[in-house]
Amino acid sequence: MAKQLNRPAPGQVIVTSLHSEVQRSYLEYAMSVIVGRALPDVRDGLKPVHRRILYAMYELGLTPDRPFRKCARVVGDVLGKYHPHGDQAVYDALVRMVQTFSSRYPLLSGHGNFGSVDNDPPAAMRYTETRLASIGYDALLGEIGEATVDFTDNFDSSQQEPIVLPSQLPNLLLNGSSGIAVGMATNIPPHNLSEVVDGLIALIDHPALSDIDLFALIPGPDFPTGGEIISTEGIYEAYRTGRGSIPMRGVSTFEEIQPGRGRQRRSAIVVTELPYQVNKAGWIEKIADLVNSGRIEGIADIRDESDRDGMRVVIELKREAQPQLILNALYKMTPLQSNFGAILLALDQGQPRQMPLRSLLEAFLNFREQTLTRQYRHELDKAESRLQIVEGLRTALANLDAVIDILRHAADGTTAKVQLQDQLELSDRQADAILAMPLRRLTGLEQKNLQTEHQELSARMSQLNQLLGNRKELLKALKKELRSLKKKIWRP
């Protein structure tokens, strides 16, 4: 039930100091923004809006093998069931999960215009379509259910939503996250799946693994737009302390080009990759402004020859220009060289914490171990329940004449159930299963199927008991799962 407010009586005045009232109200607002909106959870790497979008799409059945659905339908479901905020904020979050230049491993697939690296806006939600991508479904929602994670009431207690998704991969590191809360911010860079999985497996095998060895397995971020990192000091500082500045550069080459028929060949700087989150159109406009103002000399023309296969910006130089000097000027005066301010901050057990790389990986491994334990225990309970019924059916088939005699002479179903329990020493559930057993179960093939099912259930229960009773076996299963997902999902 909702907590009843202690409302003052008509005419009653409650005396309180202004500073304490403002302090209390602002603290409540700050915690709401920190926990409920701006910061990701260290376990599944998602903010509440992203988690609600994924779960709403799962409920709509938008799996990777199903047709695309209008984004407006998805946004409507998210707003009506789980996230009572602005529709544009929800759609913006959905769009970023589709964009290949924003997410290293997009969790959603899309049809239509979802924007570009030139900062072009996406089409309206009524025109675009989406569904879950393979990694979003397999690695985040494949095990969803009350057996693996806890659920809570939504904003009006009409629905249940997961507190966290049963992520099988550390999405916080794979896709990164950025957000500004109250008094704190997070800015986590994306990483390569293969490297992160290798780091997780190394920590499972060697919990006391040194930072040097860990950083050798995960040498740095892996940005979706490419580019190159020119110094490792900022990376290691961020990985050790949770905060650091990572210098990035675009990838460029010097080429000799033919400007036109009958004209002499000229030198050119060709840029094929930009630093992460750099707007290509804005960067070209910045260069043009610098050329027009005379701050950079020696550039004759700038052409954007990018297409859907890749990026290619040609900066044509004058004949007397020195390419390296102009490239250095571009590094200095434009975002062709920029810094990524890494802040590895996330919610850990409901509290915002700035965490080094090792702590992020260990937090995910602890969560995954707990999730697997809950999943295996639930599966064991179901197997035990089913095995009990199968044993009851086999007992009935072994004493078929006695069962038929009881059913023939019993006055009603209740009497038959009691006599079955007494004469064959069956449980209440076994007796119910026998009474509900169809006649086809009396055939020889069905009896053989019951025997096969009994053997399979017994073997699986033995395996589950070993996993739950031996942590080494559980961790071995976790490593096998990580390797399988790496092989299935990883792309260079």
The 10s digit of each residue's pLDDT in 151-172 is 999 999 999 999 999 999 999 9
Write down the CATH superfamily of domain 366-489. Answer: Topoisomerase, domain 3 (1.10.268.10)
Q: How far apart are CA 50 and CA 136, in angstroms?
A: 11
8 A C-beta contact, residue 82 and residue 52: yes
Structure letter (DSSP) for residue 310: B
Q: Which of 58-72, 245-259, 431-445 has the highest mean pLDDT?
A: 58-72
* Per-chain mean pLDDT for the chain: 91
Instruction: Convert 182-213 to b/e letters by CB count within 10 Å (16 or more is b).
Output: eebebbbbbbbbbbbbbbbbbbbeeeebeeee
Q: How far apart are CA 83 and CA 147, in angstroms?
A: 24
Write out pLDDT tens, residues 371-424: 999 999 999 999 999 999 999 988 888 888 888 888 888 888 889 889 988 888
Side-chain-facing half-sphere of 93: CA atoms under 13 Å: 26
pLDDT band at 261 (very low <50, low <70, confident <90, very high): low
Whole-angstrom CA distances from 472 to 320, 462, 467, 469, 477 are 68, 16, 8, 9, 9
Q: How far apart are CA 62 and CA 68, in angstroms?
A: 7
CA 203 to the chain's CA centroid:
21
Q: How far apart are CA 95 and CA 89, in angstroms?
A: 10
What value does the mean pLDDT take over residues 254-269? 80
Q: How far apart are CA 490 and CA 492, in angstroms?
A: 7
Residue 82 neighbours by CB under 8 Å, 6+ apart: 52, 55, 56, 154, 155, 159, 161
Complete DSSP assignment for 338-368: EEEEEE-EEEETTEEEE--HHHHHHHHHHHH
Give first-to-last CA distance, the chain, whole Å: 51
Structure letter (DSSP) for residue 209: -
Q: How far apart are CA 485 and CA 134, in angstroms?
A: 11
CATH class (in words) of the domain with range 251-335: alpha beta
Q: Is residue 2 predicted with pLDDT exceeding 50?
A: no
8 A C-beta contact, residue 289 and residue 330: no
Burial class of 337 by CB neighbour count within 10 A (0 to 12, 13 to 18, 19+): buried
8 A C-beta contact, residue 300 and residue 317: yes
8 A C-beta contact, residue 125 and residue 139: no
Catalytic (active-site) positions = 127
What value does the mean pLDDT take over residues 186-197? 96
What value does the mean pLDDT take over residues 135-150? 90
The domain locations on the chain are 46-166, 251-335, 366-489
- Nearest one of 136, 134, 153, 108 to 44, comparing CA atoms: 136
Write out pLDDT tens, residues 278-297: 999 999 999 999 999 999 99
Enter the CATH code of domain 46-166.
Answer: 3.90.199.10
* Lowest pLDDT segment from 20-29, 33-42, 238-247: 20-29
Q: Is residue 6 predicted with pLDDT exceeding 80?
A: no
8 A C-beta contact, residue 345 and residue 242: yes
Q: Which residue has the higher pLDDT, 382 or 17?
A: 382
Q: What is the structure's pLDDT at 491?
A: 63
Burial class of 235 by CB neighbour count within 10 A (0 to 12, 13 to 18, 19+): buried
Whole-angstrom CA distances from 277 to 64, 283, 287, 331, 342 are 28, 11, 17, 16, 13
Residue type, position 166, single letter: P
pTM given for the model: 0.90
Q: What are the tokens at 310?
A: 């890749």
